[in-house]
Amino acid sequence: MLNVDLHCHSTASDGLLPPAEVVRRAASNGVDMLSLTDHDDLGGLPAARSVADELGMRFVNGVEISIEWGGLQVHIIGYAFAADDPALNDGLASIRSGRISRARRMATELETIGIGGCFDGAMRFAENPNLISRAHFARYLVESGVCKDVRSVFESYIVPGRPGYVDHRWATLEESVGWILGAGGVAAVAHPGRYKLSRPEMRLMLDDFKRCGGQAIEIVSGSHSAENVTVFSRLAREYGFLASCGSDFHGPGESYIDLGKLAPLPPDLTPVWEAFRP
């Protein structure tokens, strides 16, 4: 059976390994088809593709776009698009420019509760400063002894209702799907089980996504429980969505599962890679 992993991160966003290392690790874990899906940035794709070509592994262009839907941060993944598409690149650049100003506001918030130096501290962890992310803040809060690990940072800080969280206007659902389709790609909802949405709200989001031209949802994911897999498989059947799978690997020791270590997709669902152009 094909080992497919269509969701992971490199130092081009908030992953810990450079793109080439991510691809090598995937290959040694037995992955046959990989997509690198950095947040809001396509900078890691050329290096990843060139190593994948050397190793004879199938590589699919990917990106995980930060959007806002119903007041929540949601992630929409694009696959198999033309990476030089101008509208996609301009759209991603606009999201990145908002990240720096959000990071300054987060640092100011943390300062008011006595945690100083967060902007510079987080920036030190960001290889790509334009992609400064809450993951980099989390690493700094661990390093400075405020929290014992990254997971506990996301329990006590920088999440809605906790210190250091600031509202941010990301792209819209319609924009993100439009950019992906405009570049010839396929759009997928990332880890739908992670969003704090009621069942009716989830349906509204999936209705909107489908109306915009979205075709796929992640079913098997490093951040999904077995129950999530059952629930979203049922929704995929009902909506006619293609099924995707990905580890959401960020780095050794910082992820739920390693590259290529996913459970198989339910056999009756159509895998998203059937929609990728050869």
Residues making contact with ligand AMP (CB under 6 A): 14, 39, 66, 73, 133-135, 150-151, 154, 250
What is the C-alpha separation between 37 and 271, in angstroms, rounded? 17
What is 218-235 written as a DSSP string?
Answer: EEEETT--HHHHHHHHHH
- Give the H/E segment covering residue 243: strand 242-246
Q: Give the residue, chosen from 5, 14, 175, 218, that forms a contact with Mn ion under the rule CB under 5 A.
A: 14
Kindly tell me which residue out of 75, 96, 136, 224 binds Mn ion, with binding defined by CB under 5 A. 75
The Cα 75–Cα 218 span in angstroms is 11
- Nearest distance in Å: CB 254, Mn ion: 9
**Cα(85)–Cα(204) distance, integer angstroms:** 29
Which residue's CB is nearer to ligand AMP, number 147 or number 272?
147
C-alpha separations of 210 from 40, 74, 164, 186, 229 in Å: 21, 15, 34, 12, 20
Q: Could you tell me which of 22, 4, 25 has the C-alpha nearest to residue 13?
A: 22
Q: Give just the sign of the alpha carbon dihedral 154, 160, 161, 166.
A: positive
Instruction: Name the residue nearer to Mn ion (CB basis): 71 or 267.
Output: 71
Based on CB atoms, which residue is closest to ligand AMP, 66 or 176? 66
Does the footprint of Mn ion cover residue 248 (CB under 5 A)? Answer: yes
Residue 66 touches which member of ligand AMP, Mn ion, none, C-beta under 5-8 Å by kind: ligand AMP
Apex 38 CA angle, 169 and 6, nearest 5: 120
CB of 3 to ligand AMP, least distance (A): 23
Only one residue has tokens 């915009």, namely 212
Please state the closest distance from residue 13 (CB atom) to ligand AMP, in A. Answer: 8
Residue 5's binding partner among Mn ion, ligand AMP, none (Cβ under 5 to 8 angstroms by kind) is none
The listed partner (Mn ion, ligand AMP, none) that binds 109, CB under 5 to 8 Å by sort, is: none
Tell me which of Mn ion, ligand AMP, none is bound by residue 205, counting a contact when its beta carbon lies within the kind-specific cut-off of 5 to 8 angstroms.
none
Task: Please list the residues that pair with 75 across neighbouring strands.
Answer: 66
| Residue pair 62/88 in contact by the 8 Å Cβ criterion | no
Instruction: Name the DSSP letter for residue 148.
Output: S
- Output the six-digit token pair for 176: 């993100």
The residue among 165 and 276 lying less far from ligand AMP, judged by its C-beta, is: 165
Q: How far is the CB of 92 from Mn ion (least distance, A)?
A: 15
Q: How many residues bind Mn ion (CB under 5 A)?
A: 6
Q: How far is the CB of 200 from ligand AMP (least distance, A)?
A: 24
Q: Which is nearer to ligand AMP, 58 or 194 (CB)?
A: 194
Closest contact distance (angstroms) between CB of 39 and ligand AMP is: 5
Report the interface residues with Mn ion, using CB under 5 A. 14, 64, 75, 135, 190, 248
